[in-house]
């Protein structure tokens, strides 16, 4: 499962984080990695990115993301489970619940502290790449 901040880093070219975010995107695009995004993250990405690159470019970017990532739907059960999680941020709890439901092995995020109590282990993008795809780490 890929957290919202990784997509924002990539789409907004936020340095120094954009390079690792791009590597995650490339790994998913090449099918070396199956990446998931929650449906609720899509609305968050839209809300943030439309202010930076505008509505049309944001929609184009989202459509491209849909060709690379699986979208984990968000239903009533997920919302209720997220409310019961012992996590401070509801959006993060929802990502964690959906990650567990789709059997994700990790949540790739820059905010690992927000996922301390997550049922799915969080990992920084650079740590994920160096641990699981060390060949992708080379420049």
Query: Each residue of 89-113: pLDDT tens digit?
Result: 999 999 999 999 999 999 999 999 9
Q: What's the chain's average pLDDT? A: 95
Residue 15 confidence (pLDDT): 94
Domain boundaries 4-137, corresponding CATH code = 3.40.50.1010
- Assign residue 31 a region: left if phi > 0, alpha if psi is -120 to 50, beta otherwise? left
Produce one character per residue of 27-41: b if its CB has 16 or more CB atoms within 10 Å, e if not.
Answer: bbeeeebebbbbebb
Query: Percent of the chain at pLDDT above 70?
Result: 98
Query: Each residue of 13-37: pLDDT tens digit?
Result: 999 999 999 999 999 999 999 999 9
CB 41, CB 95: distance < 8 Å: yes
Query: What is the residue extent of each domain of the chain?
Result: 4-137
CB 99, CB 87: distance < 8 Å: no
pTM assigned to the model: 0.93
β-pair type (70-72, 107-108): unpaired
């Amino acid at each position: 499962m890929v957290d919202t901040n990784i997509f924002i880093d990539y789409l907004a070219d936020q340095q120094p984080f954009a390079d690792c975010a791009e590597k995650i995107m490339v790994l998913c695009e090449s099918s070396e990695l199956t990446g998931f995004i929650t449906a609720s993250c899509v609305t968050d990405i839209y809300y943030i990115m439309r202010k930076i690159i505008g509505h049309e470019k944001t929609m184009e970017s989202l459509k491209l993301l849909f060709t690379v990532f699986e979208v984990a739907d968000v239903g009533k059960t997920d919302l209720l489970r997220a409310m019961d999680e012992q996590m401070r941020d509801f959006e993060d709890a929802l990502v964690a619940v959906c990650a567990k439901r789709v059997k994700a092995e990790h949540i790739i995020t820059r905010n690992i502290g927000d996922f301390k109590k997550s049922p799915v282990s969080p990992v920084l993008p650079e740590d994920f790449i160096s641990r699981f795809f060390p060949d992708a780490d080379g420049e």
